Amino acid sequence: MNTLFDKIWDKHVVQQVEDGPTQLYIDRLYCHEVTSPQAFDGMRARGLKCFRPKQIYCMPDHNTPTHDQDKPIEDPVSKKQVDTLAKNAAEFGLTHYGMMSKDNGIIHVVGPEKGLSLPGMTIVCGDSHTSTHGAMGAVAFGIGTSEVEMVMASQCILQQKPKSMRISINGMLGKGVTAKDVALYLMSKLTTSGATGYFVEYAGDVVKALSMEGRLTLCNLSIEMGARGGFVAPDETTFEYLKGREFAPEGEEWDKAVAYWKTLKSGDDAVFDKELTFDAVDIEPRITYGTNPGMGIGITENIPANAQQANSPEAGFEKALNYMGFEAGQKLLGTKVDYVFLGACTNGRIEDFRAFASIVKGRRKADDVVAWLVPGSWAVDKQIREEELDKVLEAAGFEIRQPGCSACLAMNDDKIPAGKLSVSTSNRNFEGRQGPGARTILASPLVAAAAAVTGVITDPREFL
C-alpha cells in the first residue's frame, strides 16, 4: 500500500467497526444552504450541540442571485434556504459567511483561497464537488445530509474505505490546452463510471506543472468519473499558494506544517488498486456533445459515428443526441451558440478570468450571445478589479456579475432558456442542469471565450 491516500486515511481512523465501516475523524465540515437544513433539524430534535463548532464553516452559494445581492432575494424558496442557513449558523454558534460579505462565494472556491482547506486534512460537505479541495493534498469528498448531521454531532463519519487509483498524465500540454481539457479527456476515456469506488491520486509531469487553480479544476471533476474523490500530493506549488492565507499556519507553526506536508506523498513502493497512464500529446481543447460529462470530443473531432465508438449504451447515445439536437458523425466547430457561462466551482477563479480576458482583449462580444461572467468569490472579484481585467472585459462588451454558483445549476435566477445552446465552464451537462430544456456544452474558459466573441464553437488556438 503506502499510498498518500492510506497515510491520510489511516491517520484519521478513530476505530474500525468489525466487518463494517471505518469511523473516520473529520477536520473540516463545510455547509451550504441546500443540504444542511434537515441536518440542523435532526440536531435540534435530539437536543444536540455541534461537537466542534470551530471546525464548521457555512455559506450560501447555490441559491444566491448574481445581481442585486444587497436587495432581498425575490424567489421565495431561495430566500428561505439562504435565511435558514444564517439562522441555523447563529443558533449553533458556527462561522457564517453571508451574502455580500467579503468572505462569501462558492464554498469550494472560498475554502482553498482562505487557507481553510489544508494538506493532510479530511474535508466533507453535503455537495458532490467537495472533491475540489483534494487539490490541496487533502482527502475531500461529498456526503449526504444524514452524514452532515453525523459530523456536526461527533466530528466523525462512518465510511467504507475506497480503493485507490493513480492516474498519471505525462509530457507537456499543447497550446490552448487547460486542466479542464485534461479532465474532460479523462472522463471520455474512463466514462462517467470508470472510477466508481476509487479515490484517485493525480500524478505525472502535467499535474506537477499545473497551477493550484488548474489542480482545483481537475480534482473538482473527479466525481464526474464516478470517483469518491481526487487529490494531488502537496508540493512547492501548494505551499506557495497557501503561504500568508488567512487560516494558514504562521511563523514557527508554518515551518512545522510544511515539514509535515512534505511527507505527504505516495512511497516509491506504493501499490495502487489500479494505475492508468495517459500522454499529454493526445489532448487538445475539448467540448462535450451529449448529456453527461463523459460524452466529449476534441474540438476538431466529429461526434462519434455510433454508440460503440462513443463507449455508450445505444439508447443513451441516441437520446442524448436527440436532446442536444446533434447528429452522429457531426462536426461541432461553427455551431451557433446562444449563451456563454464563465464561472462555477470548476472555473470561477482568477486564472479562469485571466484566460477568458486573454482571448477577448481587443475584440467584441458577439451581438447574439448572452454572456454571464461570474466570479467564484468576492475575493476573486476584488482581484479581477485589481488586475484591471474588468476594464478589458467591459471594453469587449462583457459585464461581471456577483459571486455565486449561478448558471452551473438551475437553483437561482441564472437559467438558460429551453432549447438554447450554452457553452459552459461548469461541471455538468445533464438534461435540464442549466434550466429546463437547456442544452449544455462543457468547455474550458478559453473555448468559452472564443465562442463568446465569434458566436459559434471555435478552436481557441486560432486566437493564441
Q: Is 244 left (phi over 0), alpha (psi -120 to 50) or beta?
A: left
Give the tens place of pLDDT for each residue, 275-304.
999 999 999 999 999 999 999 999 999 999
User: What is the structure's pLDDT at 442?
Assistant: 98
Nearest to 111 by CA among 89, 88, 131, 81: 131
In this structure, what is the dihedral angle of CA atoms 229, 234, 237, 240, given to the nearest 10 degrees?
110
Going along 39-150, which residue ranges are E strands?
56-58, 95-96, 122-125, 139-142
C-alpha span between 136 and 133 (Å, rounded):
6
332 pLDDT band (50/70/90 cuts)?
very high
Share of the chain above pLDDT 90, in %: 99
Q: Give alpha helix (H) positions in 262-368.
A: 314-324, 344-347, 350-360
DSSP type of residue 162:
P
Locate cell 450571445: which residue?
369
Nearest to 301 by CA among 278, 271, 331, 327: 331
Answer whether residue 29 shows pLDDT above 80: yes
Note whether 32 and 107 are within 8 A (CB). Answer: yes
C-alpha span between 427 and 347 (Å, rounded):
9
Which grid cell sits at 161?
474505505
User: CA-based Rg of the chain, rounded to a whole angstrom?
Assistant: 21
Answer whether residue 1 shows pLDDT above 90: no
C-alpha span between 65 and 408 (Å, rounded):
12
Give the tens place of pLDDT for each residue, 403-462.
999 999 999 999 999 999 999 999 999 999 999 999 999 999 999 999 999 999 999 999
Which backbone phi and psi does 297 adopt, to 5 degrees?
-140, 160
Which backbone phi and psi does 184 adopt, to 5 degrees?
-65, -35
Locate cell 509530457: which residue?
171
Q: Average pLDDT of 180-187? A: 98
Give the tens place of pLDDT for each residue, 97-130.
999 999 999 999 999 999 999 999 999 999 999 9
Question: Is 429 strand, coil or helix?
Answer: coil
Answer whether residue 59 shows pLDDT above 80: yes
Note whether 373 and 399 are within 8 A (CB). Answer: yes
Pairing of strands 122-125, 139-142: parallel
In this structure, what is the dihedral angle of CA atoms 355, 359, 360, 364, given to the nearest 10 degrees?
-160
Note whether 82 and 63 are within 8 A (CB). Answer: yes
Q: What integer best gives the mean pLDDT of the chain? A: 97
DSSP type of residue 221:
G
Burial of 131 from C-beta contacts in 10 A (0-12 / 13-18 / 19+) = buried
CB proximity list for 58: less than 8 A, separation 6 or greater: 30, 31, 32, 36, 85, 88, 89, 94, 95, 96, 97
User: What is the structure's pLDDT at 437?
Assistant: 98
Q: Average pLDDT of 259-265? A: 98
